[in-house]
Amino acid sequence: MALTTATALLLLTTAAMAQTEVRFTHSITGGSSREALDSIIADFQAANPDIKIKEIVFDDDQYSNQGLITQLKSNEVPDIFFEWAGFPVQRDVAAGYAYDLTEAMAADGWKDSFSPAVWTDGAGTMVDGKPYLVPLSLDLTNTIWYNKKIFAEHNLTPPKTWDEFVALNKALAEAGETPIVEGNNEFWPLGNWAGHIAAMVVPPDAYIAAFKQEAPFNTPEFEKALNLLVGLHEVGAFNKDMQALGADPAMATFFQEGAVMHPIGSWLVSETANLAEEGFEYGQFNTPVIDAAHPLANSVIGTITGLVVHKNAPHPAEAIKFLKFLTSEASQIKWAESGQMSPVQGVSDKAKLDEQTQAMLALMSGASGIVPPPDNKYPVPVAEAFYQAAAFAASGEKSAKDALVWLDETLAAMGKQ
């Protein structure tokens, strides 16, 4: 009996030593999406006992600010890392961090299993026609979530125009409510929304030219866009601690009924079970129409998020094997049912989707266009400077004009003009 036990332990030890460890760094820390990912990883490891998925996890702000870049530059790089489509992928390729997935995507029809839209030029998953990002989720980067109970108490309905939206905020503020909670200490939460607002006001060519630094921001059109934020500030729309509050505490404030509305992305859905009291009812509406004649009047702001294999991954074959499992139909049904919008074809028809995810899919499919977040499409320093200018306007710290003057002067000093 002792020999049998010793033999069994030896076999277990040998198997453990034979495991390949795939390092996977990301920022999925909680909620139903975390539970879905845990389940998918467990399924993969059960089917592939020779591979262990080692997760390195950061919260959102830490990941985007320093966690990811620290990992990418370390002596022990991750095999797989979470990334946003667009400029971040281009940057990763240029820096030598991203693995060319052309061959892997061609095998077993993997590339064809995704919606064709994720491989279009504007999707940001490819560089020079080569795929580098494995799409995992379609994200609405900003929609306006609202508390249905409080709306009903004040006889309010989702606004269709910007003027109606301002009036709604004014009515809520005068009734003693905090109309909008925004956690903007990192600038991107309000900044993404401000980018969409500007895209709905500024002529598309002028918008692109400014963010590419081929033209100034200080124009009447951008001033009109930032004045919309000034107008919200003037009617008392925002929480007073907007500039000090973090993104996660702001979301918690919304779920705890500390504010009526919360402009943020589709990832809020996966946090509902974690943060909301039972029976909490909420809905959403897109940024209301500002100029009906604008070509992006009925657009949404959104992006693709996904996973990149590091160019110097110690175990690229095993990493790709896991990513194929993660984006298989069975795994993606679990992922979609956790509140994510899957980019894999057919999944949304087979998954049991919650009301909010169905509404977001409808919003995206009916949009006149998808505006990418500025920090996903354009150089990050330019986008972040714009985000800070928007924060100046929304907090009442500067007029729209002064914020834009500051923006152009800041970019000129940075050598971006």
Q: Of 16-20, 197-201, 368-372, where does the model show the most confidence?
A: 197-201
Q: Hey, CA dihedral for 359, 365, 371, 377, is it positive or negative?
A: positive
Give pLDDT tens digits for 206-228: 999 999 999 999 999 999 999 99
Q: Considering only residues 69 and 407, tell me which one the structure prediction assigns the higher pLDDT.
A: 407
CA distances, 166 to each of 179, 211, 235, 251 (Å):
10, 27, 8, 21
Query: Would the pLDDT of 240 be above 50?
Result: yes
Query: Would the pLDDT of 270 be above 90?
Result: no
Query: Would the pLDDT of 20 be above 80?
Result: yes
For residues 26-37, give the mean pLDDT.
Answer: 91
Buried b (16+ CB within 10 A) or exposed e, 361-370: bebbeebeeb
Q: What is the per-residue pLDDT for 417?
A: 44
What fold does the segment set 140-301+369-413 form as a domain?
D-Maltodextrin-Binding Protein; domain 2 (3.40.190)
Joined together, the tokens standing for residue 187 give 């600038």
For residues 173-192, give the mean pLDDT.
Answer: 97
**HSE-up of residue 140 (Cα within 13 Å, Cβ side):** 31
- Give the confidence band of 6 by pLDDT, cuts at 50, 70, 90: low
Joined together, the tokens standing for residue 68 give 């990811």
Query: Would the pLDDT of 121 be above 80?
Result: no
Q: What is the per-residue pLDDT for 66?
A: 83
Q: What is the per-residue pLDDT for 59?
A: 85
Q: 188-199 and 220-234 helices cross at what angle (nearest 10)? A: 130
- Give the confidence band of 239 by pLDDT, cuts at 50, 70, 90: very high
What's this model's pTM, rounded to 2 decimal places? 0.78
Assigned architecture for domain 11-138+305-360: 3-Layer(aba) Sandwich (3.40)
Q: What is the per-residue pLDDT for 9?
A: 54
Domain ranges of the chain: 11-138+305-360, 140-301+369-413
Joined together, the tokens standing for residue 239 give 């929480």
Lowest mean pLDDT across 59-73, 120-134, 237-251? 59-73
Q: What is the per-residue pLDDT for 3?
A: 47
For residues 302-312, give the mean pLDDT.
Answer: 95
Q: What is the per-residue pLDDT for 74?
A: 87
For residues 193-209, give the mean pLDDT.
Answer: 97
- Give the confidence band of 95 by pLDDT, cuts at 50, 70, 90: very high
Share of the chain above pLDDT 70, in %: 95
For residues 366-370, give the mean pLDDT.
Answer: 83
140-301+369-413 matches 11-138+305-360 in CATH topology: yes
